[in-house]
């Protein structure tokens, strides 16, 4: 049984202290614990990187090793065609997550390249968006 891969982009290692008025007080370690609980026996691979190259490498690894991907690409959502191209190779479900409501923020955050591939997008739910995304992914696999 393949695990869920949760992939996190730049600056998410600073969750809990970074702009808490936007991103809340939940740390990345707490997000990981929430994700592990939501994934249950299926298991979880949890990655965070500040590098576009390493995030793309994590997507490539997930192509063969994951039942699906939950991805918060952070700022790379709005800048990385290379990340979009990597995600286009993924046949498993891809769920995009943003902690903040990107549509209520500055216009630069309104267009995510990743959304062009994502099967679903969750934004504005805070850290709770992660386990919601995992539960949705697991339901989609059961269909």
Q: Mind telling me the catalytic residues?
A: 23, 98
* 72 among annotated binding-site residues: yes
* 27 among annotated binding-site residues: no
For residue 102, the tally of other CB atoms under 10 A from its CB is: 20
What is the rounded distance in angstroms from the CA atom of residue 61 to the CA atom of residue 108?
30
126-to-15, 101, 132 alpha-carbon distances in Å = 11, 9, 11
* 101 among annotated binding-site residues: no
What is the rounded distance in angstroms from the CA atom of residue 122 to the CA atom of residue 100?
9
Residues paired with 70 in a beta bridge: 6, 95
Name the strand (E) or helix (H) holding 33: helix 28-39
* 115 among annotated binding-site residues: no
Tokens of 57: 């490498």
Known binding residues:
72, 85, 99-100
Known binding residues for substrate:
72, 85, 99-100
């Amino acid at each position: 049984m393949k695990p869920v891969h949760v992939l996190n982009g730049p600056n998410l290692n600073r969750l809990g202290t970074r702009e808490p008025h936007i991103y809340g007080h939940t740390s990345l370690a707490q997000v990981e614990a929430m994700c592990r609980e939501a994934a249950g026996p299926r298991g979880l691979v949890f990655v965070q990187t500040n590098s576009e190259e390493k995030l793309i490498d994590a997507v490539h690894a997930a192509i063969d090793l994951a039942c699906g991907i939950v991805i918060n690409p952070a700022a790379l959502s709005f800048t990385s065609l290379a990340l979009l191209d990597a995600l286009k190779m993924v046949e498993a479900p891809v769920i995009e997550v943003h902690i903040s409501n990107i549509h209520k923020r500055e216009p630069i955050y309104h267009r995510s390249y990743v959304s062009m591939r994502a099967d679903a997008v969750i934004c504005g739910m805070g850290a709770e968006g992660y386990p919601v995304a995992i539960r949705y992914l697991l339901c989609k696999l059961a269909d």
